[in-house]
Structure 1
């Protein structure tokens, strides 16, 4: 299993990024992008969804700004707005782009699918349909069994599909973590060529010591077969846990990745 890491830091919901975007401070954005690339990100996420009325021009600027310094890592266009996604994709020149995201909602599926096909992009697919956010494992599985066949039938290769099970905070329901783990296990057992991905931090929302919960949940998801994450790659402790977990799960041939991480000083 090849693990895919999407660096999450260039997001205007973060105060420093929002201020840099508003000031068109290219050097700060580029510094963050380079740090993510050096830390091992396979994709760099570009999310300016909080800039609602200027999202299209902002995502164009961000994509070009990042690609000017990170020339060998593709970008993930992160928006529910298909017009903003297209604006970012038009500027993309670093290999195969990723689109975050499509859903089983009829309108969103119909708006985003043509972009995935036109740009031959990887796509993050959220387990959500027109009935709203799923509450149970069974509801998630029902969406999985509709969304994956619909994407495949539309011409998307299974290897380019990344299912996001949608994480709810355990502070609002103590089974929220289990719901995700069981959904990931189901996806990997029935659709082994389809990937699973998520941003983990929502699981700890509203609780103290969030970092520990996020880190442990990452390892638990790896054990269930999750093979992609949207996270902060500059978090050395988290990346160290990921390499260690992969080695222990037999997903790191001859522990080469773990040993390389050790030699590179990750476990200081």
Structure 2
């Protein structure tokens, strides 16, 4: 089944930042409950936007969210110190967002991850910049999986992000990432594929239509997770329907549940 990582609890969003600054428990709880009801399998928690307050803000968010989340959390920070504190607070096995092959980030994250039971988002980025071909994406994915395996992270706990890029800049970027996903899944059948989808439509009109179409194509290629807004009913309906058509929904139960709930409609 496709896993949705709910992206809304991020202090880069103005309303969330205001709620965190004001310690507005009701706003955060309401948002998390809505994400869970809409079908989020993980709740991403990012407190990095208020410079100088990340540790205290992350702690407050976890104290607020954890009692009502009912799903695992994705701990989202580039700072291993913040992640170490957050990791000790969570009750369910968390997802860590994220590691990459960029030397500074890689060197900081590997000691933190060593020996931990967690899922990890692995970005196909290194110090040379964004990947320029499907072969480059595959090569970076191989390196990430191999290095994470060395410190005890099983392949099935790795969520590779192939880094979706805008087709408005280069119309081949969509095909490039689709080819890369197919190659990664052929090489590592147990690895997960995740990432943000909205970059594909950057700079184009009717972006949500593009995003919904693209997620279907990515699911056929092997994507089984995405970092999205689960309150976007149309993309959630697209994901649940595609899951059914790809034989990932036994007896169409999730699809039928969505239809009965009104979240899937024509």
Shorter-chain TM-score tier: over 0.9
Structure 1 regions of 5+ residues with no counterpart? none
The equivalent residue for 1:111 is: 108
Quick one: structure 1 residues 110 and 40, their matched pair in 2 at CA, closer, same or farther if it must change by over 3 Å? same
Cα deviation per residue 1:33-63 (whole Å; 9 max; x = unaligned)?
1111111111100012222321111111111
Matches within 5 A, 1:209-248: 209-248=206-245
CA distance, structure 2, for counterparts of residue 29 and residue 259 of structure 1: 30
The equivalent residue for 1:41 is: 40
The equivalent residue for 2:90 is: 92
Answer yes or no: is 1:14 the counterpart of 2:17.
Answer: no
Answer yes or no: is 1:52 the counterpart of 2:51.
Answer: yes
Q: CA deviation at 1:132?
A: 2.4
Cα deviation per residue 1:99-136 (whole Å; 9 max; x = unaligned)?
00011223322322233344411000000123222122
The equivalent residue for 1:255 is: 252
Answer yes or no: is 1:79 the counterpart of 2:83.
Answer: no
Answer yes or no: is 1:150 the counterpart of 2:147.
Answer: yes
Cα deviation per residue 1:47-86 (whole Å; 9 max; x = unaligned)?
122223211111111111111322x211101122222222
The equivalent residue for 2:175 is: 178
**Conservation of the 8 A alpha-carbon contact between 1:11 and 1:18:** yes
Q: How many residues align?
A: 265
What CA RMSD, in Å, does the superposition of the two structures yield over aligned residues?
1.5
CA distance, structure 1, for counterparts of residue 21 and residue 59 of structure 2: 14
SS in 2 for 1:68: helix
CA distance, structure 2, for counterparts of residue 105 and residue 165 of structure 1: 14
CA distance, structure 1, for counterparts of residue 263 and residue 188 of structure 2: 33
1:200 to 197, 202, 208: 197
SS in 1 for 2:10: coil
CA distance, structure 2, for counterparts of residue 263 and residue 114 of structure 1: 47
**Conservation of the 8 A alpha-carbon contact between 1:116 and 1:122:** no
The equivalent residue for 2:264 is: 267
**Conservation of the 8 A alpha-carbon contact between 1:89 and 1:119:** no
Cα deviation per residue 1:147-173 (whole Å; 9 max; x = unaligned)?
111111221111100000011111221
CA distance, structure 2, for counterparts of residue 142 and residue 261 of structure 1: 38
Q: CA deviation at 1:97?
A: 0.5
Structure 2 regions of 5+ residues with no counterpart? none
The equivalent residue for 1:160 is: 157
Q: Relative to structure 2, which stretch is displaced further, 189-198 or 79-88?
A: 79-88
Structure 2-normalised TM-score?
0.94
